[in-house]
Chains A and B, each alone.
Chain A
Amino acid sequence: MAGNNPNAKPMNLTLKVWRQRNRNSEGKIVEYQVKDISPEMSFLEMLDVLNEDLLHKGDEPVAFDHDCREGICGSCDLFINGRAHGPEKGTTTCQLHMRKFSDGDTITIEPWRANAFPVNRDLSVDRSAFDRIIQAGGYVSVNTGGVPDGNEIPIPKNIADQAFEAATCISCGACVAACKNASAMLFVSAKISQLALLPQGQVERKTRVENMVAQMDKEGFGACTNIGQCAAECPVGISLENIALMNREFINAKATSNNLA
């Protein structure tokens, strides 16, 4: 951690920020100074200060993704000092606070780096590959209406809790950014685990894993080499066990495929 002193006075910082006009243009690191940053600010509020400053000077503000600023929407996606979401464990960029930094620090801010996540502009990337993976099978095929009473599907508490843990993935893409292979296995396995564990997910269990994994490969994500950086950097603590479970699901599905197409 880059220093943790909650009583710190306002800080002056040097920012090295990735600037890139659009998907097809060359990018480069540009250096900025920000002054009088309160340690109580969130990291994104610090970037707000930079952007207001840039706009006042007639420069173009830095584009970055964000929205809820409470760690749940999964929009924010900054690679800070070489780490997905920065130095604090289990924390999204929006929940990272400047008290984790010290006066005089230089902070390097880059977008997620992965072929499957092209840069829109500056720090904003296109993560629609994740949506296409979910579209390949990340659901239970039930229409609205005509379903049984909620309590007709009892689920052991420990199973429900385990499925819930997997379901808390916020789809931010930190796992991909943290992985040297830009693998999306943690993201994909979280959804597969959730539905493989629950009784509702059993009917499509095999086709789901086959189709989602096929889409993942098609999107250009890398393979998993069991380093575990994804789980180490995941802001919501999605467990590596999900990948193990997905691998079992995948082998089982391939061995006894329901995929007739």
Chain B
Amino acid sequence: MNLDSKIPEGPLTEKWEQHKFNVKLVNPANKRKYDVIIVGTGLAGASAAASLAELGYNVKAFTYHDSPRRAHSIAAQGGINAAKNYQNDGDSVFRLFYDTIKGGDYRSREANVYRLAQVSVNIIDQCVAQGVPFAREYGGLLANRSFGGAQVSRTFYARGQTGQQLLLGAYSALSRQIAYGKVKMYTRSEMLDLVMVEGKARGIVTRNLITGEIETHAAHAVVLATGGYGNVFYLSTNAKYCNVTAPWRAHKKGAYFANPCFTQIHPTCIPVSGDYQSKLTLMSESLRNDGRVWVPKTKEMAERLRGGQIRVADIPEEERDYFLERKYPSFGNLVPRDVASRNAKQACDEGRGVGSTGLAVYLDFADAIQREGVDKVSQKYGNLFAMYEKITAENPYELPMRIYPAVHYTMGGLWVDYNLMTSVPGLYATGECNFSDHGANRLGASALMQGLADGYFVIPYTIGDYLAKEAPVPVTTQHAAFQEAAAAVHERTQKLLSINGTRTPNEFHKALGHIMWDHCGMSRNAEGLQFAKQEIQKLRREFWSDLKLTGTNEELNQMLEIAGRVADFLELGELMVDDALNREESCGGHFREEYQTPENEALRDDENFAYVAAWEWMGDNQPETLHKEELQFENVKLTQRSYK
């Protein structure tokens, strides 16, 4: 199949406007004849569900949570970017576009990113109208802060819980449509397969997590807004339930998976404290506005610190290495995430790490507190400081925070065209679930922007173009494809329950996480990746012969849920490794040790790798087929990214 990105003709600045005019419309009276399924109710899903229902479509929305408001978008801390230029500091749509393309290390589509920057301004207006309580200045107008990878202040925020406020805005819009009867909401329902009829997405199979009932649902189109797959690493900043199952099932039904190896390691997370650790907690990037990252200058000093012979306060200023400020004077502590993470790892690899494990660097607020006072600092970061103290029992007003990089976001995801449609007709992917806008590295405060852009302002236009070509006749689950898909789901569930081995789903998940983190994490090399591939295959065989579960399908069975998700991670993990092996260059979050500049920065190979790698499933235990979408850069010049 030829990958047609369907990028509209014409100048960059006019593509979206022109496209909106060219797409087919569904007339208002006909909209009620179309059903749309939306899986996931985070920012991308809830905003799409509300907006499509407002237009008149019949929406069925699904979440495995007990309420749409629990989706992990809620945990996003720092903010949301928008090219409002309220600060008069030189921002523009083009600058946000440029920063995002550059931040993504030139591995994203110009047209998609430009559209994202264009609609970013509408998002802020929409959220304000919903009553989202953004931070404000004393004059009553909206406040901004700066974020990594940008030299303007364009990030809108609600203290350190912007994601929560934005999600509650989208959730309220969704709730309104539920009340109107335009959205039928299915909670505690997990999508376990996609149903295809005559080559098109026509519905889904779900499991009711309370009763275990396997249900089928039909629609004219299906939208996956199910988030990212960072939990393939077991430990990540994702919520515990986050998983790849919905998009992975779609992948096995024909949706290509793009750039799976592009994962983001966030530089500022609370370090791992023990084997029992169940997840990692992010400390917002916004902290790097005021926090200074450092380690002791020498290995000897770091050793004495770790050994408890000296305290932090005993290290004089001249013995501290503020390595980001030293190496990147123009961006300083606000370099993009991939750069900050790699530098922290490097400092720790040199033996200069702090904390009991030596796998941490300091994020120090002493200067900010001295400059602005405790109150001002607390106003900006109070909830983050409190969270840090709860977890570590250390007070960041007195001691510098200890931080270390952790898996945070996945830029890869289902391949989509400009309309956000996957390679399966009628199947769309939005938000973190798709691959489209962040290239090889996402800039801070851009995930919320993309999720809401897709849901509020892109999919409502583009889905009509597809639906207008579908006959406005009712769809049902009567087709044999629904029964077959439901039977397959049932069979798989029974298989999981009947293995009766000795190892728990979490043990397999942790083992996979170790393989992925060690060999497909912050830095990668061919040898390690080859090794990881063998190990994952071995682990997958063990999983299907030695898994331990109890209970039945016909009840709330949380270990069964986990087992199904881990089974899919065990397949995705291998594809990530294949993708990382294939991409013989370094770019953004994908750092291949073989390809680096003399200064240890990522060394791209634009000649051979300026493409999107879209992988096609070829069957169980078969190598996947690679399709390439060449990236065209007509408006930005590809350069070695520099933040010096």
**A-side interface residues toward B, CB under 8 Å?**
6, 21-22, 38, 40-42, 44-45, 48-49, 51-52, 55-56, 58-61, 63, 65-75, 88, 90-91, 95, 97, 99, 120-121, 124, 126-128, 130-131, 134-136, 138-145, 147-151, 153-157, 160-161, 163-164, 167-168, 170-171, 194-195, 198, 200-201
Contacts and interface: CB of A to CB of B under 8 A. Distances in A.
Interface of B: 47, 50-51, 54, 65-72, 74-75, 84, 86, 122, 124-131, 133-142, 158-159, 161, 163-165, 168, 171-173, 175-176, 178-179, 185, 187, 210, 239-241, 273-274, 276-279, 281-282, 386-387, 390-391, 393, 456-457, 460, 502, 504, 506-507, 548-551, 555-556, 558-559
29 contacts: A45-B276, A45-B277, A48-B506, A60-B551, A61-B550, A63-B556, A65-B66, A67-B72, A69-B240, A71-B390, A72-B74, A72-B163, A73-B239, A88-B390, A90-B386, A97-B390, A124-B556, A126-B66, A128-B187, A131-B69, A131-B185, A143-B51, A143-B54, A149-B125, A150-B84, A164-B159, A167-B158, A170-B164, A198-B131
Given A150-B127, A151-B141, 19 more contacts: A22-B555, A38-B276, A40-B273, A52-B507, A55-B550, A63-B556, A68-B70, A70-B387, A72-B161, A73-B72, A91-B390, A97-B393, A141-B176, A145-B126, A147-B128, A164-B135, A167-B158, A167-B165, A194-B133
B239 A69 contact: yes
Q: Which of A55, A88, A144, A151 has the most CB of B within 10 A?
A: A144
Contacts of B127: 150
Would you call the interface of chain A mostly helix, strand, loop, or mixed? loop
Contacts of B66: 65, 75, 126-128
A55 to B, nearest CB: 5
Nearest first, the 3 A-B pairs at minimum CB distance are A154-B140, A139-B172, A147-B129
A77 to B, nearest CB: 10
Interface centre among B86, B279, B502 (most CB of A within 10 A): B279
B381 to A, nearest CB: 15
A220 B387 CA distance: 34
Nearest to B176: A139
A163 B133 contact: yes
Nearest to A47: B278
Contacts of A21: 555
Given A56-B504, A60-B550, A144-B54, A69 B555 contact: no
Nearest to A142: B129
Nearest to B277: A45
Contacts of B54: 143-144
B278 A42 contact: yes
Contact of B175 (A95, A120, A131, A201): A131
A162 B126 CA distance: 21
A237 B105 CA distance: 42
Nearest to B143: A157
A95 B65 contact: no
A38 B239 contact: no
- For B75, B125, B133, B549, the residue with the greatest tally of chain A CB atoms inside 10 Å of its CB is B133
A99 B393 CA distance: 9
B128 A150 contact: yes
B128 A66 contact: no
Given A60-B551, A95-B391, A148-B129, A70 B172 contact: no
Contact of B86 (A60, A90, A151): A151
Contacts of A99: 393
Contact of A139 (B175, B457, B548): B175
Contacts of A58: 550
A192 B549 CA distance: 45
B274 A41 contact: yes
A143 B278 CA distance: 40
B70 A75 contact: yes
Nearest to A39: B393
B133 A198 contact: yes
B140 A157 contact: yes
A51 B185 CA distance: 31
Nearest to B128: A150
B67 A200 contact: no
A157 B133 contact: no
A167 B133 contact: yes
Contacts of A145: 122, 126, 456-457
A138 B175 contact: yes
Interface centre among A138, A145, A201 (most CB of B within 10 A): A145
A41 B276 contact: yes
Given A73-B75, A74-B70, A68 B239 contact: yes
A178 to B, nearest CB: 19
A61 B506 CA distance: 13
Nearest to A137: B179
A76 to B, nearest CB: 10
Contact of B70 (A67, A69, A134, A164): A67
Contacts of A74: 69-70
B276 to A, nearest CB: 5
A142 B136 contact: no
Nearest to B47: A144
Contacts of B550: 55, 58-61
A55 B551 CA distance: 10
B130 A139 contact: yes
A66 B240 contact: yes
A142 B54 CA distance: 10
B559 A55 contact: yes
A146 B25 CA distance: 19
Nearest to A144: B51
Interface centre among A91, A126, A141, A167 (most CB of B within 10 A): A167
B168 A167 contact: yes
Contacts of A153: 128-129
Contacts of A71: 387, 390
Contacts of B65: 67, 75
Contacts of B139: 154
A140 B556 contact: no
Contacts of A65: 66
B168 A157 contact: no
Contact of B548 (A41, A55, A73, A148): A55
B129 A45 contact: no
B457 A144 contact: yes
Contacts of B126: 142, 144-145, 147
Contact of B240 (A41, A67, A142, A149): A67
